[in-house]
Structure 1
Amino acid sequence: MRTMQRLTEAYENALRVEFDDDSKFIIFSDVHRGDNSLSDEFSHNQNIYQHALNYYLENDFTYIEAGDGDELWEHEIFKYIIRAYGDIYTLISEFYRKDRFYMLYGNHNMDLKFEDYVEDNLYKFYDIYEDTFDVLFPGLKVYEAVVLEHSENKKEIFIVHGHQGDFLNDHIWPITKFLNRHLWHYFHIVGFRNPSSPSKNMHKCHKIERNYSKWIRQHEIMLIAGHTHRPKFVSNSGESYFNTGACVFPLGITGIEIQEGTIALVKWHIRPDPIGSLTVQRSVVKGPSPLADFMY
């Protein structure tokens, strides 16, 4: 019940963004950018992710980062994360300057719900090479959720991270964050699984997905989430539930594309070309299918 209430609160307080059949969106979640240390699960995919973002920037997509873009549970000092991935943050800031970027917070970067924290860490960054402060995301507002509303039929797409209502990852997140930073961070390096993570616990993952489906049935609104790290293109029971997957898989990253009135689940990964050279390639896993088939 608490999950239903928290999802509804997030929906009611969401940023509303108008779109039409000419709009283009790429939705990534659970990037988990860290400090490029041994425990940083994103580091091996950084080149794939950067290549994908360049593609979407050049092709006029709007980037929605649906939570857990930054790994603030395991890494306390934000400047070390930005220092590790300065080129990537600079690339994301290009979307922001073109008014084509929306950032949501998830359980692993819940600190971004606080405006002072965002101002202190994301408005600008210190360039150690030039010994100056450079503009990054001035005036950035980080949201809990976004609702895309079609300009003609007024049908909606609710985009949220998906941790809402979870006892460990929402209600007592400061405690869980403390344990991750000072305990599981080190266990993680040697291969232990974190029990609070739905991506490592299929029972927990299925429970969360059932709650998503229940909320969709009650409200008749299409939902796109992350959090579980499990890519999804429509729920098994037929509700309009989609999941971006994550950017920390061993063999690539996944995301949801919306463009020209369609939706698709895509994967970016490294594969050999016909002459054996390794290249970053985009594959469509599911879709593209008409959005109208899923919007209530």
Structure 2
Amino acid sequence: MFTDRRLTGAFKKAKIEYFDENSKYIFFSDCHRGDDSMSDEFARNQIVFLRALEYYNNNKYTYVEVGDGDELWEYPDFKVIRLAHSDVFLGLKKFYDDKRMRIIYGNHNIYLKNKSYVKHNYFNYYDEYNQNKQELFRDILIHEAMVLKNKKTKQEIFVVHGHQGDLMNDQLWPISMFMLRYFWRYLHVVGFQNPASPAKNLYKRHKIERTYKKWIRKHKRMLICGHTHRPRFPKNGELPYYNTGCSIHTKGITGIEIIDGKILMVDWRIRADEKGGLEIVRTVMRGPEPIEKYNLRNYPY
């Protein structure tokens, strides 16, 4: 019940953005960008992520980061993350400068709720090479959630990280942050898993996903989220629950796209071609399915 209240509260305060059949979106989440050390799980996929950014920027997609982009629990000094992944932030800046970037905060970057923190860390940065201040994401607005609303049909898609109502990652997040920063951060390098994380705890993951589906059934909205790190795309007859997966899989990254009025799940990874050369490949894993298929008027919730 508390999860329902938290998700509903986020829905009511969400940024509303209108879309149509010409709109293009890519949803990534749970990048957990760190300091490029052994504990930085994003580092192994940085090149894959950069290629994906290049593809989506060239094709004029709007980039939506559905929470936990930067691993601020482990590295509260954003400068460390920016320096470690400077190419990624330069790639993201292209979207931002073209007004095609939306950032939603999750539990691991919940600091972004604080406007002063965002202004101090994300608006500008000091370029140590040129020894001057440069703009990064000046005047950026960070949201807890967003609602995509179809211009014609008024159909709504709720986009949120998904930690809302998850006790250890919502109400008690300072405790989880402390344990991760000073304990689990080092243990998971040698194979130990954090039981408080839905990404590492199968029972917890399934429990959270059940609460998402209860919310969908009650409020009759499509839902796109992250948090669990498990990519999800509904089969025929299932509730319209989509999960972006994450960008720290050992084999690549997953995301959700919207294009031509359709929704699909994609996978980006390094593959070998016929001659044994390596290339970064985008693969459609599920879909595309018409978004209208999941409209309240047509879909048997």
Q: Same fold (TM over 0.5)?
A: yes
Question: Offset of 1:295 from its aligned partner?
Answer: 2.8
What is aligned with 1:44? 44
For residues 156-207 of structure 1, what are the alpha-carbon distances to aligned partners after superposition, in whole Å with 9 as ceiling and x for unaligned?
0000000000110000111211111111111122221011110111100000
AA aligned to 1:291 is I
What is aligned with 1:80? 80
What is aligned with 1:216? 216
AA aligned to 1:230 is R
What is aligned with 1:198? 198
AA aligned to 2:273 is D
Secondary structure, aligned partner of 2:265:
strand
Counterparts of residues 149-160 of structure 1 (less than 5 Å) = 149-160=149-160
What is aligned with 2:19? 19
**Aligned counterparts of 1:224 and 1:290: Cα–Cα separation in 2:** 15
Corresponding position: 1:261 with 2:261: yes
Tell me: CA distance 1:112–1:236, structure 2 relative to 1, closer, same or farther (3 Å).
Answer: farther
What is aligned with 2:299? none
> Is there any run of 5+ residues in structure 1 with no aligned partner, and where?
none
Corresponding position: 1:69 with 2:65: no
- Count the aligned residue pairs: 296
Cα contact 1:235–1:241 (8 A) shared by 2: no
What is aligned with 1:271? 271
AA aligned to 1:102 is R
What is aligned with 1:56? 56
Secondary structure, aligned partner of 1:268:
strand
Tell me: CA distance 1:212–1:232, structure 2 relative to 1, closer, same or farther (3 Å).
Answer: same
Structure 1 consecutive aligned stretches of length 4 or more whose deviation exceeds 4 Å: none
For residues 27-61 of structure 1, what are the alpha-carbon distances to aligned partners after superposition, in whole Å with 9 as ceiling and x for unaligned?
00001100101100000000000000110000010
For residues 78-108 of structure 1, what are the alpha-carbon distances to aligned partners after superposition, in whole Å with 9 as ceiling and x for unaligned?
1010001111111101101111010000010
Tell me: CA distance 1:37–1:149, structure 2 relative to 1, closer, same or farther (3 Å).
Answer: same
Question: Offset of 1:253 from its aligned partner?
Answer: 0.1
Question: Offset of 1:259 from its aligned partner?
Answer: 0.3
Question: Offset of 1:237 from its aligned partner?
Answer: 6.8
Secondary structure, aligned partner of 1:125:
strand
For residues 212-268 of structure 1, what are the alpha-carbon distances to aligned partners after superposition, in whole Å with 9 as ceiling and x for unaligned?
000000000000010000000017971110000000000000000000011100000
What is aligned with 2:143? 143
**Aligned counterparts of 2:156 and 2:127: Cα–Cα separation in 1:** 41
What is aligned with 2:230? 230
Corresponding position: 1:242 with 2:242: yes
Identity among equivalent positions (%) equals 50
Cα contact 1:157–1:295 (8 A) shared by 2: no
Question: Offset of 1:77 from its aligned partner?
Answer: 1.3
Which of 70-79 and 12-21 deviates more? 70-79
For residues 119-166 of structure 1, what are the alpha-carbon distances to aligned partners after superposition, in whole Å with 9 as ceiling and x for unaligned?
011001122222222100000111000100000010100000000001
Structure 1 length as normaliser, TM-score?
0.98
**Aligned counterparts of 1:111 and 1:23: Cα–Cα separation in 2:** 30
Which of 71-80 and 18-27 deviates more? 71-80
What is aligned with 2:126? 126
Corresponding position: 1:182 with 2:182: yes
Cα contact 1:65–1:104 (8 A) shared by 2: yes
RMSD: 1.0
AA aligned to 2:78 is F
**Aligned counterparts of 2:149 and 2:23: Cα–Cα separation in 1:** 11
AA aligned to 1:156 is E
**Aligned counterparts of 2:92 and 2:24: Cα–Cα separation in 1:** 16
AA aligned to 1:138 is R
Secondary structure, aligned partner of 1:152:
coil
Which of 124-133 and 94-103 deviates more? 124-133
Secondary structure, aligned partner of 1:285:
strand
Cα contact 1:70–1:108 (8 A) shared by 2: yes
Which of 228-237 and 285-294 deviates more? 228-237
**Aligned counterparts of 1:42 and 1:236: Cα–Cα separation in 2:** 33
